[in-house]
Structure 1
Amino acid sequence: MKQTIRFESQGVTCAAWLFLPEGEGPFPTVVMAHGLAAIKEMRLDAYAERFSAAGCACLVFDYRYFGESDGQPRQLLDIGKQHRDWLSAIEFVRRQPNLDRKKIVLWGSSLSGGHVLKVASMAPDIAAVIAQVPHLSGFASLFQNSLSKLIALTLHGIYDGLRGILGLTPHYVLSVAEPDRLALLNAPGESAGYLNLVPSGHPFDQRVAARFALFIGLYSPIRALQKLKMPVLLQVGTQDITTPAKPAVDVCPRYPNVQLKQYETGHFQPYVEPMFSTIVADQIDFIKQVL
Structure 2
Amino acid sequence: MSTRTTIQFPSHGEQCTGWLYLPETTTPPPVIVMGHGLGSVRTMRLDAYAERFVAAGYACLVFDYRHFGDSEGQPRQLLDIARQRSDFAAALAYARSLPSVDGTRLVVWGTSFGGGHAIAVAAEDGHASAVIAQCPFTSGLASGLAIPAWTSTRLMALAIIDQIRGAVGATPLLVPTAGAPGTVALMTAPDAEEGYLNLVPADGAGGFDNRAAARISLHLMRDFPGRRAAEITAPILFAVCETDSVAPAGPTLKYARTAPAGEIKLYPEGHFDIYVGEPFERVVADQLDFLARTVPAN
CA RMSD across the alignment: 1.0
Letter in 1 for 2:121: V
Partner of 1:52: 54
Partner of 2:86: 84
Kept after mapping to 2: 8 A contact 1:24/1:98: no
Letter in 1 for 2:280: F
Post-superposition Cα deviations, 1:151-199, rounded to whole Å, max 9, x if no partner, equal: 1111111000001111111111110111132100111121011001111
Kept after mapping to 1: 8 A contact 2:151/2:182: no
Aligned length: 291
**How do residues 23-42 of structure 1 correspond to structure 2 at under 5 angstroms?**
23-42=25-44
Q: Distance in 1 between matches of 2:14 and 2:272?
A: 30
Partner of 1:114: 116
Kept after mapping to 1: 8 A contact 2:120/2:225: yes
Please state how far the C-alpha of 1:23 moved relative to its aligned partner: 1.3
Kept after mapping to 1: 8 A contact 2:80/2:216: yes
Please state how far the C-alpha of 1:88 moved relative to its aligned partner: 0.8
Letter in 2 for 1:158: I
Partner of 2:105: 103
Kept after mapping to 1: 8 A contact 2:68/2:208: no
Q: Distance in 1 between matches of 2:260 and 2:93?
A: 28
- Over 3 Å counting, the alpha-carbon distance change for 1:142 and 1:51 in structure 2 is same
Please state how far the C-alpha of 1:15 moved relative to its aligned partner: 0.7
Q: Distance in 2 between matches of 1:234 and 1:88?
A: 23
Unmatched segments (≥5 aa) in structure 2: none
In the alignment, does 2:276 pair up with 1:272? yes
Please state how far the C-alpha of 1:125 moved relative to its aligned partner: 1.2
- Over 3 Å counting, the alpha-carbon distance change for 1:124 and 1:256 in structure 2 is closer
Letter in 1 for 2:198: N
Kept after mapping to 2: 8 A contact 1:109/1:132: yes
**How do residues 172-191 of structure 1 correspond to structure 2 at under 5 angstroms?**
172-191=174-193
Please state how far the C-alpha of 1:252 moved relative to its aligned partner: 3.0
Q: Secondary structure at the match of 1:107?
A: strand
- The TM-score normalised by the length of structure 2 is 0.95
In the alignment, does 2:238 pair up with 1:234? yes
Kept after mapping to 2: 8 A contact 1:37/1:175: yes
Q: Secondary structure at the match of 1:215?
A: helix
Q: Secondary structure at the match of 1:122?
A: helix
Please state how far the C-alpha of 1:224 moved relative to its aligned partner: 0.5
- Over 3 Å counting, the alpha-carbon distance change for 1:146 and 1:180 in structure 2 is closer
Please state how far the C-alpha of 1:145 moved relative to its aligned partner: 1.3
Letter in 2 for 1:271: Y
The correspondence for 1:201, drawn from 178, 200, 203, is: 203
Q: Secondary structure at the match of 2:215?
A: helix
- The TM-score normalised by the length of structure 1 is 0.98
Letter in 1 for 2:210: Q
Q: Secondary structure at the match of 1:32?
A: strand
Post-superposition Cα deviations, 1:79-130, rounded to whole Å, max 9, x if no partner, equal: 1011110111111111111211111101111000000000001114111110
The correspondence for 1:192, drawn from 179, 191, 194, is: 194
Partner of 2:153: 151
Q: Distance in 2 between matches of 1:23 and 1:189?
A: 41
Q: Secondary structure at the match of 1:218?
A: coil
Please state how far the C-alpha of 1:25 moved relative to its aligned partner: 2.8
The sequence identity of aligned pairs, in percent, is 44
Q: Distance in 2 between matches of 1:79 and 1:25?
A: 36
Please state how far the C-alpha of 1:257 moved relative to its aligned partner: 0.5
Letter in 2 for 1:241: S
Post-superposition Cα deviations, 1:26-85, rounded to whole Å, max 9, x if no partner, equal: 110000011000100000000000000111000000000000111100000111011110
Kept after mapping to 1: 8 A contact 2:233/2:259: no
Partner of 1:223: 227
Farther-moved stretch of structure 1 (194-203 vs 210-219): 194-203
Letter in 2 for 1:4: T
The correspondence for 2:259, drawn from 255, 260, 280, is: 255
Kept after mapping to 1: 8 A contact 2:136/2:252: no
Please state how far the C-alpha of 1:254 moved relative to its aligned partner: 3.6
Please state how far the C-alpha of 1:201 moved relative to its aligned partner: 2.3
Q: Distance in 2 between matches of 1:124 and 1:251?
A: 18
Farther-moved stretch of structure 1 (233-242 vs 253-262): 253-262
Q: Secondary structure at the match of 1:204?
A: coil
Letter in 2 for 1:6: Q
Partner of 1:136: 138
Kept after mapping to 2: 8 A contact 1:248/1:260: no
